[in-house]
Structure 1
Amino acid sequence: MTRKMLIIDDDVNNLEIIEGFLRMGNFPEYQFIKCKSAEEGLKELISYCKEIDIIILDQMMPGMSGLELVTKVKADPRFSHIPIVMQTASNDKSKLVEGFRLGIYHYLTKPYLSSVFNAIIRGALDFFNHQRELSIALEHSRVLYDCIENASFTINNLEQASKMSVSLAQLFPYPEKVALGISEILVNAIEHGNLNITYEEKTELNLKSQWKQEVERRLVSEENKNKQVTIHFIKKKDEIILNVKDEGEGFDYARFLEFDPSRSTHNHGRGIAFANNISFDRLEYVGVGNQVNCIVKL
């Protein structure tokens, strides 16, 4: 089955430009479905929902708007999981925030460079694939929710973070809701905490598709090879607390707890806001920010 990208824009020239950028970005495994309206795009999405991995969508279109289409997409379980990258010429913060809360993965503010565009698309596809892998793993893993009240774990690399995300999610009443949030928190603890990869460094690494290589390089360095991320699971009568602590120096966590329109075009930086607003009832950072409590009310 050939994987597909759905591109929706009422401007034919923009459709051609986007396709050209994607061909420059080297996505040979994908076919491109181009639509000139949200209504047409929705019909194609319904027809090919099992084959479409990403939706690239213009915000302002005659008839059904981009945000209206996003609302329909996210309300339908057949394709609510598909990441959406939305193009906009507007800097209206209220619209950007509304889009993030509806479930848009990323915004692209026109005009943009092909390198930035393709880094964002690649990130969205990685997000989709990771989400799909977690869902499959959850379906085949043993349910532990009723069996464990307190437990502690340690991890130190990305592979362990991925496996631990699935195992820990099974300790919550709704595993599919928290799995991706747990993964984002654990990866953040490793990359930004223990390995001290800064926000700016990750931006550049993503543009060059070198993030995973840099993580692996730093993991085996003398400075970092013995660092651990410690995880404590605590189930109380009225809530579950997942405490995650890394060995880093902390960070300015407050500005990442909500979806920030000023970072809407960055190629990363939404993981903590996603966890805080979607996966958990709330996140509580402790001290300098190298420890966080992920809380779900029962």
Structure 2
Amino acid sequence: MGSSGFTVLAVDDKQTNLEILSVILQSAGHQVVTAAGGAEAWEILQTQGHRFQVVLLDRIMPNMSGLEVLEKIKGDPSLKALPVIMQTSADATHEILEGIQAGAYYYLTKPYEKKILLEIVHAAIRDYNNYQSLQKEVQENARTWGFLQSGIFRFRTMVEARELAPLLANGCPEPGRAVLGLVELLANAVEHGNLGITYEEKSMLDEQGQVDAEIERRLALPENSNKYVEVAFSRREGSVEIIVTDQGAGFDWESYLTLDETRAFDSHGRGIAMAKIMSFDRLEYRGSGNQVVCTILNTPQPITSQELVTAPCDK
């Protein structure tokens, strides 16, 4: 995955837990810095925050809780993009929702299972690396594509999706904000739309490290050789509208529009909800789900707590 060799901040008031985390993470090639409580963690982050690619944060600690540390991280412009994995033995729905609402998009339960721990850490590091790379690409292309008024674009592959997203983002009011959501939706249109990879299949492939190989295999199949994704970009008075249409059968999109706590412990599945929260002012799927309309206003609307989470379905 290319995720080895990064630095992780592990925060827990129990020394035994810190030792377990250190052994597991170091065995995977990561460097580990430990903090024995929230106050110590925050002090480290204030002076050395640039060192870390992910924070493993215990929820329940004396003096300064994990949620308090999380709120400080997300309130600091230099740290807010840093992914936080909330580690807890609590499994109450309202506690998971509270953490997600505060910005913990990854969750880990105690006692630790090495395989699951490393999957979640690698997913968080991968997302962080993608974020950093995309921000750089947006800055490099800002001057030319800022003049974009309207256009129709077509692409087939994941590589093309990732190349197109920063260019489209530069036609938006806040390119750095838009690019994360765009790359997610364009990639989904290929992966889950045209190629029909289901959530369950993605989980299995992710576990086996075979996602990229399966995407390439399906792209080469005769039934997919002529499929493409179409993107329509248009600048309107007061907003930008981007319509992404794939040629797949669609999917059950409604449950993916919010950060559902039932997927909080998975290594994927939060991208659409994060795109809606972080990148777009409106996001609407049409029909069977093979078309999505993204709207970005010139003056962004504030995020409400109701947009962040959803309670579990009774089914």
TM-score, normalization by structure 2: 0.89
Q: Which residue of 1 aligns with 2:57?
A: 57
Q: Does the C-alpha gap of structure 1 residues 197 and 112 become closer, same or farther in structure 2, counting only changes over 3 Å? A: farther
Q: Which residue of 1 aligns with 2:24?
A: 21
Q: By how many angstroms is 1:142 displaced?
A: 3.0
Q: Which residue of 2 aligns with 1:84?
A: 84
Q: Which residue of 2 aligns with 1:33?
A: 33
Q: Which residue of 2 aligns with 1:287?
A: 287
Q: Which residue of 1 aligns with 2:312?
A: none
Cα deviation digits, residues 122-168 of structure 1 (max 9, x gap) = 11111010000011111211335652221110111111111111001
* Letter of the structure 1 residue corresponding to residue 22 of structure 2: E
- More displaced, 15-24 or 45-54? 15-24
Distance 2:258 2:161 in 1: 23
Distance 2:250 2:109 in 1: 31
Distance 2:48 2:208 in 1: 31
Distance 1:225 1:22 in 2: 41
Q: Is the Cα–Cα contact under 8 Å of residues 115 and 207 in structure 1 kept in the other structure? A: no
Matched residue count: 294
Distance 1:31 1:83 in 2: 16
Q: Which residue of 2 aligns with 1:5?
A: 8
Distance 2:157 2:171 in 1: 21
Q: Is the Cα–Cα contact under 8 Å of residues 145 and 173 in structure 1 kept in the other structure? A: no
Runs of 4+ off more than 4 Å:
none
Q: Which residue of 2 aligns with 1:243?
A: 243
Distance 1:53 1:257 in 2: 26
Q: Which residue of 2 aligns with 1:122?
A: 122
Cα deviation digits, residues 241-295 of structure 1 (max 9, x gap) = 1100111100110000001111111111100000111210121101000000011
Q: Is the Cα–Cα contact under 8 Å of residues 90 and 109 in structure 2 kept in the other structure? A: yes
* Letter of the structure 2 residue corresponding to residue 13 of structure 1: T
Q: Is the Cα–Cα contact under 8 Å of residues 70 and 102 in structure 2 kept in the other structure? A: yes
Distance 2:146 2:50 in 1: 34
Q: Is the Cα–Cα contact under 8 Å of residues 105 and 264 in structure 2 kept in the other structure? A: no
Q: By how many angstroms is 1:240 displaced?
A: 1.4
Consecutive unaligned residues in structure 1, runs of 5 or more: none
Distance 2:196 2:172 in 1: 30
Q: Is the Cα–Cα contact under 8 Å of residues 26 and 32 in structure 2 kept in the other structure? A: no
Is residue 177 of structure 2 the alignment partner of residue 161 of structure 1? Answer: no
Q: Which residue of 2 aligns with 1:297?
A: 297
Q: Which residue of 1 aligns with 2:303?
A: none
* Letter of the structure 2 residue corresponding to residue 297 of structure 1: L
Distance 1:206 1:44 in 2: 33
Q: Percent identity?
A: 36
Q: Is the Cα–Cα contact under 8 Å of residues 184 and 271 in structure 1 kept in the other structure? A: yes
Q: Is the Cα–Cα contact under 8 Å of residues 144 and 171 in structure 1 kept in the other structure? A: no
Q: Secondary structure at the match of 2:283?
A: strand
Cα deviation digits, residues 67-86 of structure 1 (max 9, x gap) = 11011011112221111111
